[in-house]
């Protein structure tokens, strides 16, 4: 009776440790950036967590063997959990360095085991299965009938060399098989729960960041990107250019034809606007920042007033070719007014560039609309 009590308690305690490892690993894996900056040693933190957890179980295994005064056995009860940690890590990481690190750890472990022949062969098989687990993790974890057989196959080399190492001692192989299936089930539940959580979180982030009508990035994303671009400029000196524009006479369109037609105008403008900016030879991002107001940022750019004017004119000209037909049969000719500015070393706040661009947009509207006003060029007027 004491034997089974010991086995059950060992299983429960190690299961809690395994669950804690999986949750902490997943949390740490999600902490790739701090304040928008990528963590330099993030991958090494994950490797250190994995290796230290394996080492902890290995030390517990060795201590149990020492307590039993048997160097060949009684440490086997921890193998299932070590295999579980390795599997979970490989299913969660596509980092080649993680695979290399675990391969090195397994090499040391295989060399440490006493009484094992053909160590290189078993090590190669284990490393190969690790490679399969990492590169085909989505396929393997997609269905239970793939996951459970692979889990047993993955554990087989470890159990086989352990069988050779214990030199015929009965270590309860039936219990080991049951515990392996139980551990696989625990990991499956954790993995499934985290996948569902990740998908739900991604959907919530998408809803929080994307304008529902136009599917462009919303003002929240614009504000964050502008702040990061300004911080990047302060650290590196790499400039960014900000363009903002309004759909001319949009209130009149709404009042005369209704909000449905107004929404149609916004969707068509947003769709064409996004395509135009994507075709530019700059790293860029597009936003809807207000009712009929749109913005885009060109990152890491050294513009001249002439190039700013050319970009603004291209956008104004192509958007002015849009025509929206109303339910009443009227055709609405779309025009836009645009303002632009470049980040400046004298800026005291990340919003200063946007304020100047918005001021130039206002100048374009005040002087007749369907115009562009860019930095260092007082006004460029285009006839309709």
- Dihedral (Cα; 95, 99, 104, 107), 10-degree rounding: 170
CA-based torsion, 227, 230, 234, 235: positive or negative? positive
pLDDT at 7 over 70: no
The whole-number average pLDDT for the span 343-367 is: 93
Two structure tokens written together for 162: 């352990």
Q: At what angle do helices 173-209 and 219-236 cross, to 10 degrees?
A: 100
Top mean pLDDT of 63-72, 204-213, 362-371 is at 362-371
The whole-number average pLDDT for the span 197-208 is: 78
CA distance 192 to 195: 5
pLDDT at 46 over 80: yes
pLDDT at 90 over 80: yes
Give the pTM.
0.58
pLDDT in the model for residue 203: 78
In the chain, what are the domains?
2-209 (no CATH), 219-380 (3.30.70.270)
Two structure tokens written together for 221: 């994303």
Q: Are 342 and 376 in contact (CB under 8 A)?
A: no
């Amino acid at each position: 009776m004491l034997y089974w009590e010991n086995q059950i308690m060992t299983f429960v305690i190690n299961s809690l440790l395994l669950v804690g490892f999986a949750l902490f690993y997943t949390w740490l894996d999600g902490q790739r950036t701090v304040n928008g900056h990528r963590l330099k040693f993030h991958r090494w933190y994950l490797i250190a967590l994995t290796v230290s957890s394996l080492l902890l179980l290995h030390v517990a295994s060795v201590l149990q063997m020492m307590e039993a005064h048997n160097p060949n056995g009684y440490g086997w009860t921890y193998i299932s959990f070590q295999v579980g940690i390795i599997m979970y890590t490989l299913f969660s990481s596509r980092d080649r360095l993680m695979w290399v690190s675990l391969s090195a750890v397994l090499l040391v472990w295989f060399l440490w085991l006493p009484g094992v022949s053909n160590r290189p062969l078993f090590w190669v098989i284990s490393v190969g299965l690790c490679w399969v687990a990492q590169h085909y993790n989505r396929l393997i974890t997609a269905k239970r009938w793939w996951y459970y057989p692979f889990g047993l196959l993955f554990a087989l080399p470890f159990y086989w060399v352990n069988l050779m190492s214990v030199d015929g001692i009965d270590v309860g192989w039936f219990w080991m098989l049951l515990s392996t299936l139980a551990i696989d089930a625990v990991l499956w539940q954790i993995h499934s729960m985290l996948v569902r959580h990740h998908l739900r979180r991604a959907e919530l982030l998408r809803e929080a960041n994307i304008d529902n009508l136009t599917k462009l990035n919303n003002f929240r994303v614009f504000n964050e990107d502008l702040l990061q671009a300004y911080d990047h400029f302060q650290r590196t000196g790499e400039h960014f250019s900000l363009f903002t524009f309004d759909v001319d006479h949009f209130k009149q369109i709404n009042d005369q034809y209704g909000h449905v037609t107004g929404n149609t105008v916004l969707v068509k403008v947003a769709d064409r606007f996004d395509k135009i900016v994507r075709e530019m030879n700059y790293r860029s991002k597009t936003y809807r920042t207000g009712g009929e107001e749109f913005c885009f940022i060109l990152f890491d750019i050294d513009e001249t007033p002439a190039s700013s004017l050319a970009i603004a004119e291209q956008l104004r000209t192509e958007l002015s070719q849009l025509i929206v037909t109303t339910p009443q049969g009227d055709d609405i000719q779309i025009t836009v007014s645009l303002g632009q500015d470049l980040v400046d070393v004298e800026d005291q706040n990340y919003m200063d560039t946007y304020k100047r661009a918005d001021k130039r947009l206002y100048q374009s509207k005040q002087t007749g609309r369907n115009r562009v006003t860019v930095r260092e060029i007082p006004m460029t007027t285009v006839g309709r």
